Amino acid sequence: MKTIHNIAALCALALTCATTGFAQDTPQQQEVPQQQATQQPVYYVVPQQTNTVQYVIVPQAQYQQQSQQAYMPPPQPQQPVPVPPVPRRESRISLFMGFDINFYASSMYYERDEDFVAGNDNTTYETEHLYSGLGGSLGISAGVLIKDIIGVRGFFDVGIQSGESDYWNYRIRCRNDSCSNVDTELTDFIFGVSATLFPFNRSNGAMYNSYVQGDLAMDIQYYDDDFAETFDHTGSASFFMKIEIGKLFSISKTWNVGVGIAYSIDFLSFSTYDEEQDTFTDHVGGKQSFWAGVRFVRKKNKS
């Protein structure tokens, strides 16, 4: 039995030696921990916002952060910018003036009644003067225009007419109707004020610069013929009224040319007393005229 145990021990020893020797002959592979490869940084070329465009290399993280922002073009060099002056507020009042050339036709009636009150005579001597004629006039006016709607001006006109007169007097006898159809030269001096209304104020309207005008003035008349002094009617002064309509056409920002037609009427009514002859004299008369002419007007127009 002892021998069998010895033999088994020897076999185990031999097996152990054989195993150990084989392990020594065959090298064991040792696990080497893998090291993570070092990543190389990535760089990007980024333009710089400077006056002269330059490029720099930045890391990926910085590039990604910059790419999230909106790209703005490089600012331009600052240049001095002139500041326009504050526009002046346009005045509501502007210069309004003009020159007129007119042709007009007139007819006039004048009557003078002389009443002698001395004693109980009560005699009345009548004098009549009729006139009709044609002529022309020149006028000038100046004033202001308010809000491009209402204009107020002072004016002065000088008119000259040629026509015929008829005279009649209770005490003066004219032979062979010599006091009729007398060639007469009439001169008018008219001065006063006028008001002009521009009711259509739209600059793009067809009626823009159409107007209505009214004049109030004094008309001093002078008659020159062979019988004016004989019948004591060389001149007179009357109250003058005229209404006119017309239209202006702009030729520049401030100047216009236009046409107008008008109708005027004169009133004459007053009384005088002569102490030497003890007479009252009544003067009654009137004149009507039709006008047509050309207007040159300085008036500020809308653009």
CA atoms within 13 A on the CB side of 99: 2
Beta bridge partners of 194: 153, 215
Instruction: Tell me the residue type at 35.
Output: Q
pLDDT digits (tens, 9 = 90+) for 175-231: 777 899 999 999 999 999 999 999 987 777 888 899 999 999 999 999 999 999 988
Contact 64, 46 (CB under 8 A): no
Query: Which is nearest to 163 in space by CA: 228, 71, 217?
Result: 228
Q: Chain-wide mean pLDDT for the chain?
A: 81
Query: Which is nearest to 295 in space by CA: 252, 240, 255, 264?
Result: 255
CA-atom Rg of the chain in angstroms: 58
Q: Where are the domains of the chain?
A: 96-298
Predicted confidence at residue 273, as pLDDT, reads: 81
- Distance separating alpha carbons of residues 244 and 218, to the nearest angstrom: 17
Query: Which is nearest to 241 in space by CA: 262, 264, 220, 269?
Result: 264
pLDDT digits (tens, 9 = 90+) for 220-274: 999 999 999 988 899 999 999 999 999 999 998 899 999 999 999 999 988 888 7
CA atoms within 13 A on the CB side of 132: 5
Residue 14 pLDDT level (bands cut at 50, 70, 90): low
With pLDDT > 90 as the criterion, what percentage of the chain qualifies? 45
Look at residue 280 and give its three-state secondary structure: strand
Planar angle of CA 68, 70, 72, nearest 5 degrees: 140
- Distance separating alpha carbons of residues 224 and 203, to the nearest angstrom: 48
- Distance separating alpha carbons of residues 118 and 138, to the nearest angstrom: 48
Residue 291 pLDDT level (bands cut at 50, 70, 90): very high
Full-model pTM? 0.67
